[in-house]
Structure formats: structure tokens, C-alpha cells
Amino acid sequence: MTGDGRPGPGAEDSGPGSDAGDRGAGPGNSDRGAAPDTDETSSASPAAQPEAAGSGGRSGQQAAAASEVAGREAVPLLAPRDGLPPLVVTAEALDAAARSLGAGSGPVAVDAERASGFRYGHRAFLVQFRRLGAGTMLIDPVACPDLSAIDSALADAEAVLHAASQDLPCLAEIGYRPRKLFDTELAGRLLGYPRVGLGTLVEAVLGLALEKSHSAADWSTRPLPDDWLRYAALDVEVLVELRDALVQQLDAQGKSEWARQEFAAILAAGPPPPRIDPWRRTSGIHRVRSRRGPRRPGSCPMPRSSKQRGHCPKARRNSPGSPGSTDAGPGGTPPSGCGRSGGPGPNRSPVCPSRPRRPATGHRPRTAGTSVTPPRPPD
């Protein structure tokens, strides 16, 4: 979840965050995303709708209680109810998690954390599952890259995801492909919620406040800090409860069949085709002026974070003392034509020596210890 997104390359609250909140509801829904234009009862406040599936009709006392909850401040959700689960990093622990999830009941909450803001691609670096009777499972797909055992154990379970079109491709890469789906982000759109990020939707429907401080974190980091794992566990903590509440609201507005068709379309769509020349979406590429410059990011197979920091191989070759360097090493003298001791020449960029430095305009060099005197006003 990022992301948006969930940041992804999208517009998550993120940068990875809730890019999910800005996406459309799915194929064929252009005439369905608006709030219903029927009676006022069906378009009432979301918090006044039922909050648990299978509860049948609601009495006037229950509706009044729900309105009372909606008027109160959201309750912060700070820790998983069962405590922080251990991270699954071995084959034995993965098999035990698969057996536990298979023995559970009801829908399974699923989420994935990526590092799209730091790495090219949409690989999952953490996968979270939660099911009634099994609890929460945090699985490291770097250490356990094959989740086919989880896929077999949950073959008949409905998967509940938020912004499923973002997470399904990376989950399929590691062997998990749900057969039945409920997308809480898409359900929120069909119900007419103006904002459908996970945190916003949980607060509006359940009255709980999720912490989203790590939504744009670099989840490829190892080891993962405990506060990041706690954040990830909370992302699936109330996802099934949110699904139950949205199911009843869809029933009340007569949109259950719409949602079923949209969820089936997401599963049938499959992953998007790979982009041609993905380097064209490199952040800041619009600032490259030379003709050969735009292809430079695509020719450097490095993590995005390294490029953004200027760790170019040519810059490393030009660092003092490195092989092939044009600069002097420790104790040496700079080569002729070098603009300063131990640095690149006057017409070369200190970040990448193969790229000419743009000439400064309106700048007057001065020596150390001198000050710039402001111009005198005209007489």
C-alpha cells in the first residue's frame, strides 16, 4: 500500500501514500462513481450506516448511537490488538503461517508495502495477511519469495484489499493470486465518498484514526524497524471490519451488484503491460538540457535513490584517488587545467564530470574574507 499510493507511481498521499485515492473506480464505471440521486435516506452520513455485516435492520436507538459516535473525535489506533506479530523470514515459519491462515474463517485482509519512491519497479518488500482465527501475519518476500503455499491455503477466501489494482501485480509476482476480491477503495468510490484513502475511509466509517507516518518509507530497508512493522500490521487490523460496514452501505444504496462486477473486472484485467522506456518518468528529467542527456538515466541500472543522490559511476571515477580519476589523490597536485585543488575542471560539473556545467549569470566571484558591498542608490 503506498501506497496514495498508496504513493506508486501515482499520487498517493504519498509519495508512495495514497495514490489509490486518485484513481478511477475501474473499467466501466464512468457512470457509477457519483453519489446516488435517490432518496435522502440512502445518501445519509456514512457513519450512520451499519458497521457490522449480518446485523439485519437497525433500530432507531442504534442509528442514534451511530450518529453519536460520528460526532466524537476519532480514536487513534496505536497498536495491534494481538500485539506485534513476528516477521516471517524462514520456510518453516511460512508453512506455519499458511496452515494458520487456512484454518481461519471469513475474508482475509491483504496488503503489500513497496518502495516505488526509492526503487524502480513495484516489487513487494512486505506482505501482510489477517484473518479471523489466525491473527496477523507479516511476511518478508525478500526472504520468502514464494507464497504459493499461502495461495493454496486461501484459495476459497475472499481477499480484502485497499486499492487492489496497485497491490495485485506485485502479489502475483510472488505467487499469491486471489480468486475473490473486495476492494475497499473502490467501494468507497461507488458509495460517493469524496476521499477514499485508507486512513480517511477508516476514520469516516469506523471512527478510528490510522497512523500513516510510514506510508512513503523505503520498505526495501533491512532490517525493518519495529515501528514500521507495527504500522504495517495496523494497515490490515480493521480492513475486514471496514469491508463489513461498506457491504451494508452498498446494500442500502442498491449498489452491491455494481461492486461485484467491478471487483470481477479488476481480477480479470491482469497486470498492466510494462512501460516502454520507463526512464522517461525519472523525477527531474525535465531539467536535462542536452540531446544525449535524457537517455542517461536509462543507461544506469542503479536504484533510483542512488541516482537522485548523484552517485553516478562517472562521478565515482572522477573522485580523488579513484582509478581513472582526473583529480589528484591525497597529497598530490591537481592536474593542469583543473579549476581547484582536488576537484573537477572549471567547465565540468562536480556531480557528473561528463556533463558540462551551466555557466552562471550575474555572479561576481570574490575571494575569502571579502564582503559584497550593496550598490549605492541613485542620486
pLDDT value at 247 more than 50: yes
Cα–Cα distance for residue pair 346/26, rounded to 1 Å: 54
Other beta carbons less than 10 A from residue 117's beta carbon: 24
% residues pLDDT > 70 (the chain): 58
Cα–Cα distance for residue pair 29/206, rounded to 1 Å: 26
Among 187-201, 244-258, 361-375, the range scoring the smallest mean pLDDT is 361-375
Cα distances (Å, whole numbers) of residue 252 to 66, 111, 144, 149, 258: 16, 27, 42, 37, 13
CATH homologous superfamily for 83-269?
Ribonuclease H-like superfamily/Ribonuclease H (3.30.420.10)
- Reduced to 3 states (helix: H, G, I; strand: E, B; else coil), residue 262 is helix
In this prediction, residue 58 carries a pLDDT of 36
Between 108 and 281, where is the model more confident? 108
Enter the pTM of the model.
0.61
pLDDT digits (tens, 9 = 90+) for 208-228: 999 878 888 999 999 999 999
In this prediction, residue 121 carries a pLDDT of 82
Determine whether 259 is exposed, middle or buried from the number of CB atoms within 10 Å of its CB (0-12, 13-18, 19+): buried
Residue 117 near residue 8 (C-beta atoms within 8 A): no
Could you tell me which of 274, 220, 216, 282 has the C-alpha nearest to residue 5? 216
pLDDT digits (tens, 9 = 90+) for 120-175: 788 999 999 999 999 999 999 999 999 999 999 999 999 999 999 999 999 999 99
Other beta carbons less than 10 A from residue 281's beta carbon: 11
pLDDT digits (tens, 9 = 90+) for 40-74: 333 333 333 433 334 344 333 333 434 444 566 89
DSSP string, 84-118: PPPEE-SHHHHHHHHHHHHHSEEEEEEEEEE-TTT
